[in-house]
Amino acid sequence: MGGCLSKKQQDDSSQTKNAEYRRTIEIENSLHAEKLSRHRDIKLLLLGAGEAGKSTFLKQIRLIHEGTYSAEERQAFREIVVRNVLQCMLALLDAAEMLGLAWQFERSPSAGGGNSSQVSFMEDWSDLGKMRFILQQQADRLLGRDNVILLLPAEIVELLDWLWHHNTIKTVYNRRNEYQLNDSAAYYLNALDRIGEPSFVPTDQDILRSRVKTTGIVETSFMVGHYRYHIIDIGGQRSERKKWIHYFDRVTAVIFMVALSEYDQVLYEDSSVNRLQESLNLFKSIWNSTWFRHTSFVLLLNKTDLFLEKWSLGRFQKCFPKYQGPNRAKDAQLFLQQQFEALKPDTYNTQLYSHFTTATDTENVRFVLAAVSDTILQEVLQCAGLLD
């Protein structure tokens, strides 16, 4: 009987065990919370060649996670839109000369039989070189003003509209793969009446389509549940790529964006290099880098809308003769996807998740962003041992 514990001793022993169990649970919970906290900041690197659509993608993230732009921000974008309009037309005029196209004389607006022309500064409508020089002068004068709300004067709008509908400029635009032109040229030049209004305020779509060359580093952050995503965008031009390596450390995943529509275009920096081939080479070098041997990749095959627009021109097989599939845009897109996926390094433990995107389409980006965020989060939790 002496070996039996009294009821009090049994109660004390039970309380001790319960206290130890609670302490164990508290320690485990604390360790779990600490582990979870370490993985709540998710760093994503957004890479790709120049003009792939990375900046547009980040603007969409801003709209999706922070809401609309303020009046002050829209005012700043107004100047960018006006600059883009003028830059697009000047690029078209330069290309007309570069392509050696004869300037087909067409009657000036003042000879149109309607209201007289407001373009008082244009005396000779038959000389392309003079017209380009005068438009550049007007653009420099307009863009050189400081602390002034930027407006497109009615006479500039009239001149731009007349040029945009000129047969020579139409021919130049149809050959846009042979020189450098903003993808949004037609979008803006078809909206001159609206953009030329004194009360013009850029819409979300105007802002998304605006173009400013990215130099340096742009970081965008957003929350998904309890997790903060940091997307770091580094300029994609060749001159900017030497900066990339400084941001390779502690990356959760790499998002690589490529413009599918650029299969028949050449680099701004090197007219002998096909843009899509440059993206393939760049993607291969990054995916095979020792920095990312255990890093997942997200491949965003962007500008599918522009790819479809170009498809009817029949230039795809000339640029990619290896393609022997059906004469369908979707099959060609899948072919390009396979070209990128075939570059996977054999010895690295990496995953690739591919998505077709149109960065100017908010709903498309919303869907893709949700899928990408969920995929990356699942991987983060699994790697941290927080997911079965």
Amino acid sitting at position 330: K
Asked: is 42-68+214-374 a CATH 3.40.50.720 domain? The reply is no
Per-residue tokens: 26 = 């508290």
Answer yes or no: is pLDDT of 214 > 90: no
Residue 111, class by beta-carbon neighbours within 10 Å (0-12 exposed, 13-18 middle, 19+ buried)? exposed
| pLDDT attached to residue 188 | 98
Structure confidence by residue, pLDDT tens digits, 217-255: 888 998 888 889 999 887 656 566 666 766 677 888 999
Sequence-distant (≥ 6) Cβ neighbours of residue 179 within 8 angstroms: 91, 94, 95, 98, 99
Percent of the chain with pLDDT strictly greater than 70: 78
Residue 196 CA: distances (Å) to CA of 123, 137, 152, 180, 204: 22, 18, 5, 25, 17
Q: What is the pTM of this model?
A: 0.82
Structure confidence by residue, pLDDT tens digits, 296-314: 899 999 999 999 999 988 8
| pLDDT attached to residue 95 | 95
Task: Determine which one of 233, 264, 278, 379 is catalytic.
Answer: 233
Structure confidence by residue, pLDDT tens digits, 16-47: 666 666 776 766 555 555 555 556 788 899 99
> Are residues 380 and 252 in contact, defined by beta-carbon separation less than 8 angstroms?
yes
| pLDDT attached to residue 123 | 58
Domain boundaries, the chain: 42-68+214-374, 71-209
| pLDDT attached to residue 88 | 96
Task: Determine which one of 78, 132, 211, 275 is catalytic.
Answer: 211
> Are residues 89 and 160 in contact, defined by beta-carbon separation less than 8 angstroms?
yes
CATH top class, domain 71-209 = mainly alpha
Residue 320 CA: distances (Å) to CA of 126, 250, 316, 335, 376: 40, 37, 6, 10, 33
Answer yes or no: is pLDDT of 90 > 80: yes
Percent of the chain with pLDDT strictly greater than 90: 48
Higher-scoring residue by pLDDT: 134, 145: 134
Structure confidence by residue, pLDDT tens digits, 42-53: 889 999 988 899
For residues 268 and 181, what is the distance between their CA atoms, to the nearest angstrom?
10
> Are residues 379 and 371 in contact, defined by beta-carbon separation less than 8 angstroms?
no
Tell me, yes or no, if 123 is annotated catalytic: no
Per-residue tokens: 156 = 């500039």
Q: 259: helix, coil or strand?
A: strand
Structure confidence by residue, pLDDT tens digits, 356-380: 999 999 999 999 999 988 888 887 7
Answer yes or no: is pLDDT of 114 > 50: no
Q: Please state the rounded mean pLDDT for residues 328-354.
A: 91
Higher-scoring residue by pLDDT: 260, 2: 260
Summarize the annotated binding site for Mg(2+) as residue ranges.
55, 214
> Are residues 229 and 240 in contact, defined by beta-carbon separation less than 8 angstroms?
no
Nearest to 353 by CA among 290, 287, 304: 287
Answer yes or no: is pLDDT of 210 > 90: yes
> Are residues 171 and 136 in contact, defined by beta-carbon separation less than 8 angstroms?
no
Q: Please state the rounded mean pLDDT for residues 99-117.
A: 62
Q: Three-state SS across 146-210?
A: CCCCCCCCHHHHHHHHHHHCCHHHHHHHHCHHHCCCCCCHHHHHCCHHHHCCCCCCCCHHHHHHC
Tell me, yes or no, if 51 is annotated catalytic: yes
Structure confidence by residue, pLDDT tens digits, 55-76: 999 999 999 999 999 999 999 9
For residues 31 and 19, what is the distance between their CA atoms, to the nearest angstrom?
18
Tell me, yes or no, if 233 is annotated catalytic: yes
Summarize the annotated binding site for GTP as residue ranges.
51-56, 183-184, 208-214, 233-237, 302-305, 359
